[in-house]
Structure 1
């Protein structure tokens, strides 16, 4: 089983519990309870994901790839270089060591043909806007699933809906959309092979606490004249 993570250079790859839950939910051989979206809106009290810890006390991010290899899931990355930005301690892949294979961006089409799950964690830039369109979707396997926890406009939504209806791919798990909240007239609400969540994959019970920690670290760096974390690079557009 191939899992293809689409990321940008020097962007930490997030592996929240939400991602694993989405992979579980879109898989047809795993029975799960689904929220009814018959009224085409998010239900009141839609909660964020709880955090999952291993006995050693680390987030699943750090141990995710080795454990999923145990169930014969392999990792492939695109432009997965060493990350020099901010990551939650004990999580992520700052050395860029987890992918079994790394492909250049120009090999995206050939890579899509191999993967059972394609996970998008990209920022939205002029280069990534509608990166996943009709042509790219046609390259995917008919039993493959597309999961987006990056930005909605990376996927051409109309092309995705067409691909899902035509059976070009098996299904999709979407946490982000071209228009948010997702319009009530979107066909995505009623598609049985689509899992929808309201842009919550990055939120956990400790999100605010970590945001304060990051602010404190940047304040210390600023006062001591050191480079700040998570600065926007206008040339990269993120």
Structure 2
């Protein structure tokens, strides 16, 4: 980091509005903030100390003074391929935390859709058909008293846990380190989440996922994509689930073995699936998932909100303030974990 009083060159490689750029500049007169999108000139890289970016990265030799990269996303798989991200003298942070509210609400949306058979009711509406015995056919059931298992108890999982707990559901969760349930180094929007990790009635390590899955009415995937989490949800896990259970994935497609899932859905070994992410995106129109009655498909939209850029800048300004004060940054990439 620059010495106190030195000018800090900040490069924003995003199409942020003038108002958002001004919000960043207003943090301190020490900041020289330049916006360059979609490309950054070579001369700008030379002085850059801080970079805010989505997918634009310099080669290490291009940016010899770069010390911190703030990503525009929570996921880092795309960035990990960049040599500059592997530089040990460059801090990397994410926007983890801003997705918690919309993604948790998406999960609730899907849980309610299956509980009340919304997809079937919309099909009836399209045919202008009124069921003769709707209570018997639809058999709606409230969420209260049901069990949700959350795979990945990070920001998204903690907000979903908070909402489900408020609705009277039993909350179980998978966490990498079950001995340390609290989270004190991540960005969190006020009033959201479960920072102390007190809500789940039980925390399980990833190795015990089948033990948790067998008790769940809803199994929600909200874990980061790493080598260890690839195909974490496979035939064994699906076999352990209740015949009525619903799988919801808002994380990454490759966490689920898609072939195993298709087989389980086709054989009605589980109740259904709500899928926002896929191993191949866009999902090919040849995929059997498109035509399954017990599947809801959405186009990788669960983490998006019309306020995304503003929420992302809120994380950046908080971290910029910490950077200026030489305090620890939030949402730091842990290279040994891959997220």
Whether TM-score is above 0.5 comes out as yes
Bigger relative contact order (CA 8 A; separation at least 6): 1
> How far does residue 127 in structure 1 lie from its aligned partner after superposition?
0.6
User: Given the superposition, is the C-alpha separation of residues 185 and 86 from structure 1 closer, same or farther in structure 2, using an over 3 Å criterion?
Assistant: same
Is residue 25–residue 195 contact of structure 1 (8 Å, CA) maintained in 2?
no
Who is 1:189 aligned against?
290
CA RMSD of aligned residues (A): 2.1
Who is 1:118 aligned against?
219
Does 2:230 align with 1:134?
no
Inter-partner Cα distance in structure 2 for 1:66 and 1:138:
27
> How far does residue 63 in structure 1 lie from its aligned partner after superposition?
4.9
> How far does residue 62 in structure 1 lie from its aligned partner after superposition?
7.9
Inter-partner Cα distance in structure 1 for 2:325 and 2:240:
50
Inter-partner Cα distance in structure 2 for 1:180 and 1:102:
32
Secondary structure of the structure 1 residue equivalent to 2:167? helix
Aligned residues: 200
Is residue 234–residue 256 contact of structure 2 (8 Å, CA) maintained in 1?
yes
Who is 1:64 aligned against?
163
1:68-109, CA deviations, whole angstroms, 9 ceiling, x for partnerless residues? 21xxx2111122621221111111111111112222333211
Inter-partner Cα distance in structure 1 for 2:238 and 2:190:
35
Who is 1:148 aligned against?
249
Inter-partner Cα distance in structure 2 for 1:66 and 1:115:
14
Does 2:106 align with 1:18?
yes
1:32-70, CA deviations, whole angstroms, 9 ceiling, x for partnerless residues? 547xxxxxxxxxxxxxxxxxxxxxxxxx8585133221x
Is residue 62–residue 91 contact of structure 1 (8 Å, CA) maintained in 2?
no
1:185-216, CA deviations, whole angstroms, 9 ceiling, x for partnerless residues? 11111111001111111122322211011111
Is residue 114–residue 140 contact of structure 1 (8 Å, CA) maintained in 2?
yes
Who is 1:163 aligned against?
264
1:87-136, CA deviations, whole angstroms, 9 ceiling, x for partnerless residues? 11111111111112222333211111111100010000011000001111
Is residue 161–residue 200 contact of structure 2 (8 Å, CA) maintained in 1?
no
Between structure 1 and structure 2, the one with the greater Rg is: 2
Who is 1:78 aligned against?
174
> How far does residue 28 in structure 1 lie from its aligned partner after superposition?
5.1
Is residue 145–residue 172 contact of structure 1 (8 Å, CA) maintained in 2?
yes
Specify every segment of 5 or more residues in structure 2 that has no aligned partner in the other structure, as ranges. 1-95, 124-158
- TM-score under structure 2 length normalisation: 0.55
| Bigger helix fraction | 2
Does 2:102 align with 1:102?
no
Is residue 115–residue 144 contact of structure 1 (8 Å, CA) maintained in 2?
yes
